[in-house]
Each structure stands twice: as C-alpha cells, then as structure tokens.
Structure 1
C-alpha cells in the first residue's frame, strides 16, 4: 500500500509538472490610433508563451484593407468608394472578433488586449464581462485603456480609463509590491529613459491593487500620485493592466533595434513585468 501511494503521488506530481499550457487570445485590432509597436508586441507575447511553456497564444489581428482617411476635398465618387471600402473592412473586423463570442471564449483561459483602441465590434459585450467574472483572465497592455470609452462596464472592469498623454519622457517607476509576480523582477525604483506615460480618469485606487506608480508629475515634476500598472479581481476572474509598452525598445530587447533609446536591460525587465502579470491573471502564480 505504501508503495502504491508513493507511485500515485509521483504520478500526480508528474501530471502537475506537465499540465497543459493555458490558452490565451491576443487581440490587437484597432479602430482608433494604431501603434507601430503592435507587431513587436505580438512577437514578444508569443515568444513569452513559448519560452515559459505556460501558455499558447492565438490572435485576433487587424484585417487588411482598411481605407485611408478621406481628404477634405474628396469628390462624391471618392466618398462613395471610401464608404464601400470602409463597410467591407468593418464586416471583416466583425468576423475576426467573433473569437470573442461567448461560445468561442470557452476555448480560452485568458484574453489580452494589446494596444487595442476605439470601439471594437465584439459580438456580446455583457457576455465578455460575464466570461471574465466566471474565473478567466483579462490582461490589458498600454492602449487597452484607450478602448471602449463609451462602455462603463469595460472601464469598471479594467479599473481606469485613458485620459491623455504628453511627450515621451524619462521616468522612475516605484515598485509598489515587490512580492507580486508582475513586479517581483522589477527594481524598487525602475528607471526608464524614454516612454509614453498615460494619465487616467475614472481611476479609483481603492478598487485596484497598484503595482507601479510615479510619485511626481512626469512633465513638470510636481509631487503627484501617478498610477502606471495595477491588478484587481473581477468576480472570480483576475485583471492585470500595465500602461507601459508604447515604444518598441521597451518591448523588444534586440540591441540592434533602430533608434533605440532604452537599453536591452529595460526590455528584459518589461518582459518579466508582463509575463508575471499574465501568470498572475491566469492563476498560475499568486
């Protein structure tokens, strides 16, 4: 009996060690401003999943063929052609976002909004929130807070809403919780040479657990509390958000990246930051 118990324990341990990776849906569609760093973010998120072995990624990417904005002096014929192309693209976007339907979401453990912007035509808004509340993960990166401005339920779930930003600046981020997986590998004061720093509205620190912040206005350096990253529970689900991730050289550690301002070491910390946030939201770490 003792031998059987030992073998059973070993088998269970082996099963735990080789548990199937979590399934994550990465959404990078935009109807507003589109960051040039999105392809880099897609690449790094997929690489983090592969390297950690903890999750796989599927994507909802921007459909091709979005027409360029009309010129002010456009003719009626040009306006009609634009509207036809825009309608066709919007239908393609709706089709791509069917992966966020309640039925399709059952195939995933978590969703990442990676620099999404604007009002995305997802199939069932309340169904999406209910899915998170039921125990799933939501991870928002950078412009995820510049998404669904007219949807109070999304803003409440995320914990804050993008208001504005100034020019890119250097900052010293304070690590508010060194024990959290998202900040366990972040210095107590993390100096970033250049990044776009968001200012938020509809942010209530009492409703979130802050992970990174500034103790001064990043532009005039006056004393201020400036949230940068946070997490929260949402029903039985978990939500992680970081406003960092505008610049490619924050995201990607390639030392040969063109116009690099931040050293590769900054990217290494950033990748550990978002990986830890993903692990926490997926309930792989506490």
Structure 2
C-alpha cells in the first residue's frame, strides 16, 4: 500500500467515528426542536387547539430558534414520547392537554425535563394528570375551577422577563376564561403575571396567571391564558408565549428566582 494511503487511513477512521457520534439526537442543531402535544382525555378545546398548533409553528419560523413537531394522537404519543424518542427534542409544549395522557413512561418524562429540557404549557395543561402529583409539582399549579369568561387586568410581577417584555412594564387587559388553581404556592414559582382580585367575584387576593420555574436542570413556563381563539391570535399573546418558549429552551435570559417564603406578592403591595 502506498505510504500516503497508509497515512490517510487513520484520519479517515477518525472522520467516520465523528460522523457516527454526531447523531441527530446529540449533534448541535441550528434550531431547537419543540414537540407540541395536543392530546386530550377530558374536555377538548376544539376551536383553539388547531390555532395554537398553527401559531406555535409560526413563532418558531419567525424567531428562527426552533421548529415544531406534533403529537396529536395516542399512537403518536406512544411513538414520539418514549424516553428514547424524547432525545430527539429539546422541549415540549402542552397546548390545552387534559386528563390522564397515555405517556409511555410518566416518571421518565419528568426525568427527561429535569435533565435540562423545556416544558411549556398553556391553559388546560394545568388540567392534566390530576392523579399524578409529580406532574402537578412540576408545572406549579393544578386547575381547580373557572367562572364565566371575563375581562381581567393582568398585573406584572416580573416586567423584565422575556415572556413579559411585550407589555412594556404596564398591566394589560384580556377577555378569556380565567383559571383558579389548587396545589398552587406562589413562593414555589417565579411569578410573571397575576391578579390582585378574584376574576369574577372581585374579592381581593392573589391569583396566579403565568409563571416560570426551574425543574432540576430544566425550565418550566406556564400561562393560564389561551382558552379563546382570539387570544391565541393576539400579537401580544404570541409574544408572551414566544418569550416563555425561548426562555425555557435556554435561548433567552430571564430570572426564575423564587421569592422568600414569607414574602408578599409585589402586585399586592401597590
């Protein structure tokens, strides 16, 4: 064998090994991959879910930071949400999921988030897995009830977070179905948006609307807004959601610092 060829063989072997190691699940991707989950086992937001799917794809394309894939059926969940298959994704977005979803490995799913991946949820994502306390702990709050759709004033707890910058340090008004929560402790999340009164009775108190938190090495973003189609279509809501996604995917900087256990929500001090 010519001497030059003998010298090139080790280099070729190294190149082949590097190519083998750079599988789609481990290689650096120019864009993150977000898995949008819209399976429901309870009430289905049949009008807004298709709009949510479309908007999330548009936000990914607009930002240039992520692309989306979908889980719409039990079969797709079984295929794409095993622990092994989740390695193909950087995060998930639960868009008004409800009920006990047929995840192949619920504990494995939460462990995957803790490893450093993103969980984003909108509206009924908190009306999911009521019988799985570890999921409720991860998302930060559990849907309890809602009254008639109503206009509320959203008050900012953190006006510099990527998910709230769109509001330019001002409160905002929105007409939507407004959730109230149980299993919710505002000192265990980093609050973004809240209310200083009950949405329907107007009784004074603290009511969470949107928050973030760290979960192991992973990041969690949740917004309770998004019942209505016209809310998903509003530019400010899309920027709110986009900011939360980018933060969760570690494509944007923002705080997730928890308040002191005896602290009072900032919006109740005003």
* TM-score, scaled relative to structure 2: 0.81
1:245 paired to 2:256: no
Instruction: Give the superposed CA RMSD.
Output: 1.2
Matching of residue 138 in structure 1 with residue 122 in structure 2: no
2:201 and 2:38 map into 1 onto residues whose CA distance is 33
Separation in 1 of the partners of 2:79 and 2:192? 33
2:162 is the counterpart of 1:181:
yes
Q: Deviations over 1:39-98 (max 9, x none)?
A: 000000000001111000000014xxxxxxxxxxxxxxxxxxxxxxxxxxxxxx145333
Structure 1 runs, 4 residues or longer, greater than 2 Å off:
94-98
Corresponding residue number in structure 1 for 2:12: none
- Stretches of structure 2 that go unaligned for 5 or more consecutive residues are 1-27, 254-270
TM-score (normalised: structure 1): 0.77
Counterpart position of 1:260: none
Q: CA deviation at 1:19?
A: 6.4
Q: What is the Cα deviation at residue 117 of structure 1?
A: 0.3
The corresponding residue for 1:20 is 30
* Superposition map of 1:156-195 within 5 A: 156-187=137-168, 188-192=170-174, 194-195=175-176
Structure 1 residue runs of 5 or longer lacking an equivalent are 1-17, 63-92, 253-266
Q: Which residue of 1 aligns with 2:235?
A: 268
Q: Secondary structure of the residue that 1:106 maps to in structure 2? A: helix
- Summarize the Cα distance change of 1:108–1:177 in structure 2 as closer, same or farther, 3 Å threshold: same
Q: What CA distance in whole angstroms lies between the structure 2 residues aligned with 1:238 and 1:103?
A: 20
- Looking at structure 1, the residues matched to 230 and 115 of structure 2 have their Cα atoms a distance apart, in angstroms, of 36
SS at match of 2:88: coil
Following the alignment from structure 2 to structure 1, what is the Cα–Cα distance between the partners of residues 78 and 93?
13
Alignment of 1:77-96 (within 5 A): 93-96=74-77
Aligned length: 224
* Distance (Å, rounded) in 2 between the aligned partners of 1:124 and 1:203: 25
Give the 5 Å matches for 1:46-61. Answer: 46-61=57-72
